[in-house]
Amino acid sequence: MNAKVRKIIPQILTLAVVALIFGFFTINAQTNMENRGIEFGYGFLSQESSFDVQFSLIEYDGSHSYARAYLVGLLNTLLVAFIGIIISTILGVVIGIARLSPNYLIERSATFYVEFFRNIPLLLQIFFWYFAALRALPLPQDADAIMGVFFLTIKGLFVPRFVWENLDIFLYSILAAIISMIVIKNYARKLQENEGKQIPLLYISLGLFIILPLLTFLVGGVSLSFEIPVIKQLSTTSFVYEGGLGIPPELIALTLALALYTATFIAECVRAGIQGISKGQKEAAASIGLTPNQVLKLVIMPQALRIIIPPTTNQYLNLTKNSSLAAAIAYPDLVLVFAGTALMQTGRAIEIVSITMFTYLSISLSISVLMNWYNKRIAITEK
Amino acid sequence: MNPDKNNLNNYIYVGTSLFALAILDVFLSSFFQINITSFLPSFLSFIFPLIVGLLGLHLIRIEFSGIKKLDLINKNINTNTFNALLTLVIIFIIIKSIPPIMSWFIVDANISGDTKEACTGSGACWTYIKIWMRRFVYGMYPNELQWRINISFILLVALAFVGYIPSEKFKKFLTLYYVVIYPIIAFILIYYLISGGAFGLEWVETGAWGGLSLTFIVSFFCLIFCFPVGMFLALGRRSQLPTLKYISIGFIEFWRGVPLITVLFMSSVMFPMFLPEDFFMDKLVRVIIAISLFEAAYVAEVIRGGLQALPKGQYDAAKSLGMGYWKMHIFVILPQALKLVIPGIANTFLALVKDTPLIFVVGLLEIVGMLNLAKTNPKWLGFAMEGYVFAAIIFWIICYAMSKYSYNLELKYKTER
């Protein structure tokens, strides 16, 4: 009896406190909104936004709704996160392996990189790239072409744009190549398990991946040409690039800073993962006659990845959340477009901040759920 | 022509001189702009040191030569051609980058004078930092009152070292001191001395606080608050009472799922809506609460890791001695769990310090915010680089020192199992 009461009382107390706090906030919010004449609701999302966004992946201008502005911001955030994750993964893996290099100089340089970039606030790095480093670039009219087609100027990086014809056929061919690669891989595994035969899987897949898309160029009517940016004079002092693809300096600075910063953490994950595998594993694998490549592929990597992937996913999440620092240099991400401009215009603080937080929360939670599922799948089943 | 031990001396002689020639070539071109291979075509001249250096390193790659130093070099930087190539590239990059960095930082830099015009060199303009130093450290805090900040910080640092003084007899009160008394003293000091408004001290509003001192104030209070909150959340998440458990989980996952910048947005634009109309809460206080709650969620997860890592036997043993929930945790579980998570906690605190510049979102200008303000000053345009380098050096020193300290702490408390 006594024990039961002791279990129930703290729970009731906590619930009461939480309910009180929430109730207090709700009542205050209601009176505050009544006093200011605001009505709570998400109806404003379909209203015309009447503000412009500098950089957008989808068609957008002031006549579109707030909901579309939200989508623009979200896509821009995801774009930065996507590019940042790719660059930081490549860099992180290279640096992480370099930190374990037997070469003293390489190991030291990798350590220097990690210690240097990890200990400086990300915001400061973003500011440095945007306000100090990229501002030192030449004006559009003074810029020299890199390899004849790239132009790196203070207004951003201008690269050739791909002009596709029948792009869908090309994409289908890539899809077909991937599917046939999976089929062949399964077949090869079965063949090895049942008959002990091996087929040159790598060459077959590579061949498929190159030949199938290539065929579409020859037979499928797919063609690819480049539209090279050309400088054009508007007036005596103002020049712009026409054609090609312009990457704004905000995007460059943000992605660069995020990638360099996150790479240090990924490098540490990779290092810990590789170090976490005992030497005995490698020796045992070698002693049963596996080649060094097979040792890496069949014994080391499956175990190392089990240690590396969970913390690395965490870093990807951090990178996505850190991309919200874009607001500091006016890159139009979710926070700047929606929690900044849209909030200023509508004054609907509660609705907009809650939508923004909910968006980030759902990205984080869905990745967490995926991660838990993955962890369960790869966990070593002990006897 | 693989080098072997038969002509050891010849190989070493030729190899080292080739290697030295490569280094010399890069050194001369980097420090004195002399190109000793100018008779070659420009591309060949460019990769000349690489080829010569590779050849030299190849010639001295002799296994078990019997010379200790040579074996050491070969083992560490010269195991194969690829390694030798990387070694050379790194050495060349270092040599090449020394002169421009030195000239920017020291040789061509200026520090004298009081105006922008004093900066005539092509290097950094440290005059800018010198003139703005007070603003970078104290923000908009009035110049004649800055002694108050200095005294508070000196007192706080001195009080933090109290733990080293007392004898064994008082050691048991140390935890109480650090967890309860010290934060209270710190709060009183900052409230009365820095903020003022009592004892004849002039009141300085928090909007005027700024610079490095604000960075310290914010990180200090957030550190103090987030730790106990995080500890309770961790215990709550591992609790057997379902309400407590799920409330803790919800709280932790919520804060961990959102970026700090939206939390700060919330504290500045959304939170006032949730308060009674005549109730005023200072911006700085709101920010400190927001960051503390945010970091508490991370601290909670770190501590939970420590709690989970303890063997179940520890719990069983404590219970079998008749200890209750709190006694068990205070005397048996937490001391061991916290010891385990020192590195994790230190990482969270480091992240906290690195996150403080974000408070610019609500208009509080700590050092990075002050830099952005200073670089838009019409009298001092064009010195963004100097400012950011200066702030980067300061943050780097703080963060590096913290991580080294935590590493030492980890070694100190490492108990053999």
d(CA B32, CA B26) in angstroms, rounded, equals: 10
d(CA B400, CA A327) in angstroms, rounded, equals: 28
User: Can you give the residue range of the structural domain that contains B335?
Assistant: 127-141+204-412
Same domain, A373 and A274: yes
Model pTM score: 0.87
Q: Residue B209 falls within a domain, yes or no? A: yes
Q: Residue A92 falls within a domain, yes or no? A: yes
Task: Write out chain A residues lying below 8 Å of B371, CB-based.
Answer: 127
* Count of A-B CB contacts under 8 Å: 153
ipTM of the complex: 0.87
Each residue's pLDDT tens digit, B248-296: 988 998 998 899 988 888 888 888 878 877 777 788 888 999 999 999 9
Same domain, B371 and B315: yes
- Parallel/antiparallel/unpaired status of strands A156-159 and A223-227: unpaired
Q: Residue A207 falls within a domain, yes or no? A: no
Q: What would the two tokens of residue A57 be?
A: 């992946």
Q: What would the two tokens of residue A254 be?
A: 């943000």
Q: What would the two tokens of residue B144 be?
A: 């004649």
Read off the amino acid at residue B256: R
Q: Which of A96-110, A163-177, A252-266, B385-399 shows the lowest per-residue confidence on average (mean pLDDT)? A: A163-177
Return the residue matching tokens 């370099």. A98
The pLDDT confidence band at residue A245, using thresholds 50, 70 and 90, is: confident
The answer to whether the Cα torsion of B75, B81, B85, B91 is positive or negative is positive
Same domain, A21 and A118: no
d(CA A312, CA A263) in angstroms, rounded, equals: 10
Cβ <8 Å between A343 and B269 = yes
Same domain, B301 and B361: yes
Would you say B352 and B365 are in contact if contact means Cβ atoms under 8 Å apart? Answer: no
Q: Residue B151 falls within a domain, yes or no? A: no
* Res B292: pLDDT: 92
Q: Residue A332 falls within a domain, yes or no? A: yes
The domain total for chain B is 2
Q: Which of A141-145, A345-349, B223-227, B242-246 shows the lowest per-residue confidence on average (mean pLDDT)? A: A141-145
* Mutation site for B-interface testing, chosen from A134, A324, A359 by largest number of B Cβ within 10 Å: A324
Is pLDDT above 90 for A69? no
Cβ <8 Å between A353 and B269 = yes
pLDDT mean across residues, chain B: 83
Name B293's Cβ contacts closer than 8 Å, sequence gap at least 6. Answer: B226, B229, B255, B263
The DSSP code sequence of B257-275 is HS-HHHHHHIIIIIGGGGS
Q: Is residue B11 packed enough to be buried (19+ CB in 10 Å), middle (13-18) or exposed (0-12)?
A: buried
d(CA A335, CA A77) in angstroms, rounded, equals: 9
- Cα–Cα nearest to A103, from B309, B45, B138, B73: B73
Would you say B352 and B295 are in contact if contact means Cβ atoms under 8 Å apart? Answer: yes
d(CA B54, CA A17) in angstroms, rounded, equals: 72
Task: Write out chain A residues lying below 8 Å of B260, CB-based.
Answer: 321
Q: Residue A219 falls within a domain, yes or no? A: no
CA distance B279 to chain A (A): 11
Same domain, A300 and A372: yes
Is pLDDT above 90 for A91? yes
CA distance B411 to chain A (A): 19
Q: Residue B336 falls within a domain, yes or no? A: yes
Same domain, A354 and A282: yes
List Cα–Cα distances, A342 to A70, A228, B369, in angstroms: 9, 36, 24
Same domain, A84 and A143: yes
Is pLDDT above 60 for A326? yes
Q: Which of B83-97, B112-126, B385-399 shows the lowest per-residue confidence on average (mean pLDDT)? A: B112-126
Cβ <8 Å between A132 and B388 = yes
CB atoms under 10 Å from CB of A3, counted, come to: 7
Same domain, B238 and B322: yes
* Res B417: pLDDT: 46
- Parallel/antiparallel/unpaired status of strands A245-247 and A156-159: antiparallel
Cβ <8 Å between B396 and A106 = no
Q: Residue B178 falls within a domain, yes or no? A: no
Same domain, A151 and A116: yes
Same domain, B375 and B292: yes
Same domain, A13 and A88: no
Q: Residue A32 falls within a domain, yes or no? A: yes
3-state secondary structure of A247: strand
Q: Measured between CB atoms, does A123 come within 8 Å of chain B? A: yes
CA distance B268 to chain A (A): 10
The pLDDT confidence band at residue A383, using thresholds 50, 70 and 90, is: very low
Q: Residue B233 falls within a domain, yes or no? A: yes
Same domain, A289 and A369: yes
Q: Residue B266 falls within a domain, yes or no? A: yes
Same domain, B22 and B80: yes
Q: Residue A88 falls within a domain, yes or no? A: yes
CATH code: domain of residue A262? 1.10.3720.10
Same domain, B396 and B314: yes
Same domain, A265 and A346: yes
Is the model more confident about A261 or about A204? Answer: A261
Q: Residue B188 falls within a domain, yes or no? A: no
Chain B, nearest residue to A369 by Cα: B253
3-state secondary structure of B238: coil
Task: Write out chain A residues lying below 8 Å of B242, CB-based.
Answer: 11
Region B222-230 average pLDDT: 88
Nearest to B87 among A103, A324, A361 (CB): A103
The domain total for chain A is 2
Would you say B260 and B355 are in contact if contact means Cβ atoms under 8 Å apart? Answer: yes
Task: Write out chain A residues lying below 8 Å of B388, CB-based.
Answer: 124, 127-128, 131-132
Task: Write out chain A residues lying below 8 Å of B215, CB-based.
Answer: none
Is pLDDT above 70 for B200? no
The dihedrals phi and psi of A158, each to the nearest 5 degrees, come to -110, 120
User: Can you give the residue range of the structural domain that contains A12?
Assistant: 2-39
Share of chain B above pLDDT 90, in %: 7
Same domain, B134 and B94: no
Q: Measured between CB atoms, does A191 come within 8 Å of chain B? A: no
Region A345-366 average pLDDT: 86
Range with top average pLDDT, A3-12, A243-252, A259-268: A259-268
Same domain, B266 and B355: yes
Q: Residue B73 falls within a domain, yes or no? A: yes
Would you say B88 and B57 are in contact if contact means Cβ atoms under 8 Å apart? Answer: yes
Q: Is B415 left (phi over 0), alpha (psi -120 to 50) or beta?
A: beta
Same domain, A156 and A8: no
Is pLDDT above 60 for A294? yes
Same domain, A262 and A136: yes
Strands (E), chain A: 145-146, 150-153, 156-159, 161-165, 223-227, 230-233, 239-242, 245-247
Q: What would the two tokens of residue B249 be?
A: 């989980």
Q: Measured between CB atoms, does A17 come within 8 Å of chain B? A: no
Same domain, B208 and B77: no
Nearest to A104 among B76, B247, B372 (CB): B76
Same domain, A267 and A318: yes
